[in-house]
Each structure stands twice: as C-alpha cells, then as structure tokens.
Structure 1
C-alpha cells in the first residue's frame, strides 16, 4: 500500500519529468495556472471594488471567490508555483532528487505563472471594464500592500502557502469531487481573508495597479514585496508543511532496512 510520501513523491517526479523532457509543455501548464488565477482575480477584485463601501462584506466576497482559481488549476491540470514548492520537495526530502535538480522547474513555473496572471490582469484593465470603480479600489489596495513591515510580510507569505499547500494536499487525499471542491475553496478563503500574501496572486493585483494607476503610486517597495512574499511562500510550502508531513509518513527505519 502506498503511503502519502509515495504518492507525493510520484507527483513530484511526474512534474520533474515533464519539465525535463518537454519544458515548453511545462511552461504552458504554468502559464495556464497563472491565467486561471487571473480569472479568479478578475472576479474577486471586481467584487471587492463593487463592495468597496461595505468593507467587511467586500473582504468576505474577495476571499470567498478567489478559490475558483485553485479549483481550476486542480481540476484542469496546471502547474502552480506555490503548490509545487510542497509536492516537488518530497522527492528531495526522500533523497530521490537533489534540490538543484528541481530548482529550474521552480523558476520556469514561477515565470510561467507570472506571465499568465499578468497578461490576463493587464488585458482586464486595458478592456476598460469597471474602470470607474477599479481606480479607487486599486488605489487603496496598492497603498495598503506597498507599506509593510519586512518580518510581518515574510510571515504572511509563510502562512499563506502553508494553507495553500494544505488545500493542495487535501486535493490529493480527498476522492469525492464535491468534498474536494468545498475544502479547496474554504482553505483558499482561510489565507485570503486574513490578508496573507500569495506571490502569484500579488503578480496579478500589482499588474492591475501598475496598468491602471501608473505613476500616481510610488512603486519603489514593489520588488522587495515580491521577493519577501515569494521567499515566504517557499518556506511555507517546502519547510513548514512538507517537512512535518514527511516525518509523519516516512517509512520507519526498521522497514527501510528490510
């Protein structure tokens, strides 16, 4: 009988082999994951803008709908950087792959995700849809995001991907389709509602802000924000969740010796 580690390692090897044998296909899968999140961003942030005068309701609406992006990724088959930080680290922890072997996969996945979500969000703003309500909403979001404490932002990134990867892990474990959809949506809500930081989602909202607001916002802290949220996401998935899961389900030394 396969353990959780075996299943996760198998998934990690599948992703690694796709990247190794057909990097263009892997990039397109990563691009589409970003695009799916871009669609979720359009829905959730438009709802946030529409409900901007009702702060609490607006935040709940954003958190409650953003999960459709992860649902699309899981059900339609795409590569999300933050989820891969969890799955693909398992063969490394087990000693079947070296970290330097999966690093190119992470880089390609990250770039593909960013290109996908940035393109969709850029086109949304350029379409002029809901422009009147998006401008003040994005102005407030940018002001909030670009003023941050370094340690707090890093921790928000860690907690975000800890929760995202629990959602991904649940998606692997739960077989009933309805239950899987509900669990994924609730877990995504659990990281969006408190305001935790997802680096790929941030790529979308910052693209909206840059496109819509231009030089009216001071963007000097944007690169640091993206760096810290990305680093936090890596630690949340590949360390805070992956290491305990590996320790919980790895084969006992007595079985390994046999």
Structure 2
C-alpha cells in the first residue's frame, strides 16, 4: 500500500499500471455492453451540462462566479461516469497508454473510440430531446432556453484552431481528472480528484466534444420550435459539425498525447524495453 503524506492513495506509478490494465479490459468489452455504457456516459455528461447551463442562466451572478460555480456543477457528469460506471470517449483517450505498451492493437483502440464516441452522441443527443420535451428550458421565464442558444452560437461560430486548442486544453484536464480518480480508493477520493480539474476546464471556457453533443442539439431544438429573438444563424447541423470536428481532434491530442503518452514515457517505457530484452 502506498503512503503519500499519510494517505493510502495509489502512487502515480501504480496509477499507470492500473490505467493500462483497465485499458485492456475496456477494449475487450462485448459490443452491446460497450454501446450501452457509452450511451450512459453521453447522458451523464449531458446532465452535468444541464446543471452548468441552469446556473449560467441566472443573470444576477457575476461572470467569474457563474463560470466557477457552473464548473463545479458540471463535475457531476464525470463523477457519474467514474462512480456509476460508463464509457466516455474523452476519458478513453487514456487507452493510448495500453496501445503504446503493445497491450492492445491499433484496431482495438480505434474500435473502442469509434463505438464509444457514437454511443456518447446517442446518449447526449437523446438526453437533449428528453430535456426539450420536459419543458425544463422554460424555467426562469425562458432564460435557460436562451442561454443554450447563446452558448451554442459561440461554439458554432468558433474558428477551427480556437476550437481545436480549447479541445486540447479541455482533455488534458479531463484525463488528469480520470488519472487522479484512479489514485482514490473511496467514492469521496474519486469525487475530490475529479472536481477541481473539471471545474477548471469549464470555468476557462475550454471545449468538450461530448458536452457539445448535448448543448448544441438542444439549442437547435429550441431555435426550431420555440420563439427566440436571437439571430442564431450558425446554430445548425453544419455549425454543429464545424465545432465537433476540431474539438474531437483537440480532445484526442490533449488526452492521448499530452497525458496518456507522456505518462507512458515517464512510468512504462523502461518497463516495456526491459521486457523486450
């Protein structure tokens, strides 16, 4: 058992081993299980985004306070993913560690990422439809619906490289949250490890592809079926995909390269070389 300042958290080296072992288990999940866990993760992240937008719709809250408190609320999504169990594309970018060690093949890696990303979209967009039908966005005299459209307008009008680099920074923090959650042995340990990196990326305005799979479709529903005075020309399917492509690519680089591969080099590369001799 590792002792870090009197705690029993796993050490970074032990985390690297755990991430590798979990990565192997993830790529071997049966298709239906992987699909359903992916749908759950999309919905869980959507619930975190719902919580965030609810807070941001209150015009009486200052900008910084709204961003930070909204970020804390958004942390609900990843806590649900980690504690309740689900398969999240951005977190699964850490499978790059097991791939770099040769424990999983390139085909297995791509299969997991593609299935999970599509399943996340089903879960996130499906939740958007349910939330729209529930009338939730009519709360606060329609300010919630208006906030969804405002957020979506910014996202869909964002230049490619801005969205890309915001995606990179976002998933560095998301994968660090997942990484640190592996250090914990209790639900409280995991929740504390998740909250600060996730609230930081949200407060900073970085881009998470799965959250956008919930926010933008819901904004499109509001634009199509509810009266709005906002000129939301970019809130369309074309605008959605113009945001999604650079954000997915940025999330991949941030999570896989800047977290997964970096930690592989630090903790696992020498082990692989020793095993090869």
1:48 touches 1:59 (CA, 8 Å); kept in 2?
A: yes
Q: 1:81 to 1:257 in 2, by over 3 A?
A: closer
- Cα distance in 2 for residues equivalent to 1:183 and 1:5: 16
Aligned pair partner of 1:46 in 33, 47, 54 = 54
The equivalent residue for 2:146 is 136
CA deviations 1:208-252 (Å, max 9, x no partner) are 101111296222432121000011101111111111100110153
Residue in structure 1 matched with residue 239 of structure 2 by the alignment: 221
Query: 2:5 maps to which residue?
Result: none
- TM-score, length basis structure 2: 0.85
> 1:245 — aligned with what?
263
Aligned counterparts of 2:104 and 2:31: Cα–Cα separation in 1: 18
1:13 aligns to 2:24 (yes or no): yes
Contact kept in structure 2, 1:157 and 1:197, CA below 8 Å? yes
Q: Structure 1 residue 92: deviation in Å?
A: 1.1
Partner of 1:233: 251
Partner of 1:203: 213
Aligned pair partner of 2:127 in 120, 136, 156: 120
* Matching residue of 1:193: 203
CA RMSD of aligned residues (A): 2.1
Q: Helix, strand or coil: the match of 1:43?
A: helix
Say if 1:28 and 1:112, in contact at 8 Å, map to a contact too: yes
User: How many correspondences in the alignment?
Assistant: 254
Q: What's the TM-score once normalised by structure 1's chain length?
A: 0.91
Matches within 5 A, 1:145-156: 145-156=155-166
- For structure 2, the 5+ residue unaligned runs are 2-12, 226-230
Contact 1:44–1:62, Cα closer than 8 Å, also in 2: yes
Query: 1:110 — aligned with what?
Result: 117
1:168 maps to what in 2? 178
Match in the other structure for 1:92: 99
Equivalent pair of 1:30/1:80 in contact (CA under 8 Å): yes
Structure 1 unaligned spans of 5+ = none
